[in-house]
Amino acid sequence: MRITNPATNELIKEIAEDTSQNVEVKYQRAKSALNSWSQVAFEKRIVLIQRFGDLLDQNKDNLAQTLTLEVGKPLQESYNEINGARGRIKFYIENAQKWLAPQELNNDGNTADILAFDPLGVVCNISAWNYPFLVGVNVFIPSLIAGNTVLYKPSEFATLTGMNIEKLLHEAGIPKDAFIAVIGAAKTGEALLNLPCDGYFFTGSYKTGKYIAEKVTTKLVPIGLELGGKDPLYVTDEIADLNKVAGAVAEGCFYNNGQSCCGVERVYVHEKVYDSFMEQFVAETLKLKVGDPLFKDNNQGAITRESHIAFLDSQVQDAVKKGAKLLAGGSRIGKNNFYGPTVLANVTHDMSIMKEETFGPLIGVMKVKDDNEAIKLMNDTEYGLTASVYCQDTDRAKKILSQVDTGTSYINCCDRVSPYLPWSGRKHSGVGSTLSYLGILAFAKPRGWHIRK
Ligand code: NAD
């Protein structure tokens, strides 16, 4: 497998992919380690995870550099991601015991009814490349804390980071067979689907997620799917500081080159503030500096997958052909994977840019006459990950968002994740939850104890 740098398209390294036979051997190792790992005291498991967090800190410079080299995100965003992962680890360390500890729910003096949790077993985690630390940590940390062993397949576009994660977990003291990285692309992932794992947790596209769900559903084990989105944002006419909102929206659209699962993918603006918003928003977009992601002044790096550039071009061409107006960007810059941050106005829902997940630095902005029109358009999607409303009147924003079918609702903010809240997609954005107490219990199975003395 060739690992290349998307900012230069040069080879970084060649790595052997795991064959299906290797994957089977890794599964057997993870299965054999299950009994001993699940019996390690909870407190000891927490200490090892804490040590892993400390190692992330101690190795931050190298980890951030590697992440930027292989996925092309600006170096500062790689640091931000590692810091974000630290925050999530802290959340699990502080909260897991509270939710996993046995609870006596009833005692009539004769029988104690106790709810307890057992590990699922061998957890299979197939992961994405856009935030490999964050989406990985959401699954493998609570899995390990709950006593599962883990087969972790990083994306083929974030393999070096996946291997760094494995190395540091082992260095922290997690047994070598309790956490095993499986290296490769779709074919290797497929080999994991053929094994009798005890839970499948996937982050990636709707297309692959649906395929995986169909393939593993007959195993009757828990399945978690965190998939794509076409997340809408609505700017109402009740805004105190339009400049500030335009800056925040531009960040929500273009952070990580628009390659964020909860990045803003389409914007609706109330007609009363549309012209002023657009002026500010385009100015904010034109301020973005595209270039070498290792150079600290650049805040837009390279598109991770070169093959995706043709799709971005096709969305721009489709929109322009159907009457959209290009206000910024619109094409690749140079011969490597850089793409100009793109703003399209006069867009409609007949255009791919407003319906299909873009996963890149393109945004369509549409004028709406009132909240009802905005609600109708926000719901006109197969996805349901997040939606955002900017409005000084919180009650009005809540009323709008409660009519939009998404797992996450943002008022006067966007593109953020809190470990205290469930991360949970609806419709084609997935099933199940990570983060919050739901994302701890997702990696355990309940056992009801009925105890009489
Ligand atoms: P992808 O579906 O192409 O790949 C995801 C993973 O699946 C990779 O590890 C890949 O090797 C593996 N895979 C591919 N085919 C497989 C098969 N047949 N069997 C088993 N495994 C297979 O997605 P991607 O390009 O890595 O990620 C981008 C997508 O992920 C976007 O749609 C984005 O919105 C989504 N995403 C969602 C969240 C979320 O929290 N909801 C977070 C990050 C990314």
- 224 Cα distance to chain centroid: 13
The DSSP result for 244-273, as a single string, is HHHHHHHHHHHGGGG--TTS--EEEEETTT
Per-domain residue ranges of the chain: 2-227+429-452, 232-411
**Distance between CA atoms of 386 and 401, rounded to whole angstroms?**
10
**Ranges of the chain whose pLDDT falls below 50:** none
Among 203, 231, 406, which residue has the most ligand 1 atoms within 8 Å of its CB, making it the best to mutate?
203
- Residues 304/339, Cβ–Cβ less than 8 Å: no
Residues 6+ apart with CB under 8 A from 35: none
Q: Determine whether the shortest distance from the Cβ of 204 to ligand 1 is under 6 A.
A: yes
Q: How far apart are the first and last CA of the chain?
A: 60
Residues 6+ apart with CB under 8 A from 165: 132, 133, 136, 140, 152, 154, 181
Residues in the chain: 453
Strand partners, 123: 150, 199
The CA angle 134-138-144, to the nearest 5 degrees, is: 125
pLDDT at 96: 97
Q: Would 2-227+429-452 and 232-411 be classified into the same CATH topology?
A: no
pLDDT at 229: 98
pLDDT at 62: 98
In one-letter notation, the amino acid at residue 421 is L
- From the list 253, 261, 391, 414, the catalytic residue is 261
Q: Which atom of ligand 1 lies nearest, measured to the CA of 429?
A: 41
Output the CA 1–ligand 1 centroid distance in Å: 17
Per DSSP bridges, beta strands 362-368 and 266-270 are parallel
Output the CA 227–ligand 1 centroid distance in Å: 7
Q: Determine whether the shortest distance from the Cβ of 311 to ligand 1 is under 6 A.
A: no
Query: From residue 319, how far is each of 231, 324, 355 by CA, in Å?
Result: 18, 5, 11
Q: Answer yes or no: 253 catalytic.
A: no
Q: Answer yes or no: 413 catalytic.
A: no
Ramachandran angles phi, psi of 232, nearest 5°: -90, 155
The stretches of 304-393 forming alpha helices (DSSP H) are 308-321, 371-378
Radius of gyration of the chain (CA): 23
Question: In the 8-state DSSP scheme, what is residue 16?
Answer: P
Among 70, 125, 155, which residue has the most ligand 1 atoms within 8 Å of its CB, making it the best to mutate?
155
2-227+429-452 has which fold? Aldehyde Dehydrogenase; Chain A, domain 1 (3.40.605)
**Distance between CA atoms of 169 and 163, rounded to whole angstroms?**
10
pLDDT at 406: 98
Q: Determine whether the shortest distance from the Cβ of 434 to ligand 1 is under 6 A.
A: no
Q: Determine whether the shortest distance from the Cβ of 191 to ligand 1 is under 6 A.
A: no
**pTM exceeds 0.85 for this model:** yes
Query: From residue 69, how far is each of 30, 63, 109 by CA, in Å?
Result: 31, 10, 63
232-411 has which fold? Aldehyde Dehydrogenase; Chain A, domain 2 (3.40.309)
- From the list 156, 226, 265, 356, the catalytic residue is 226
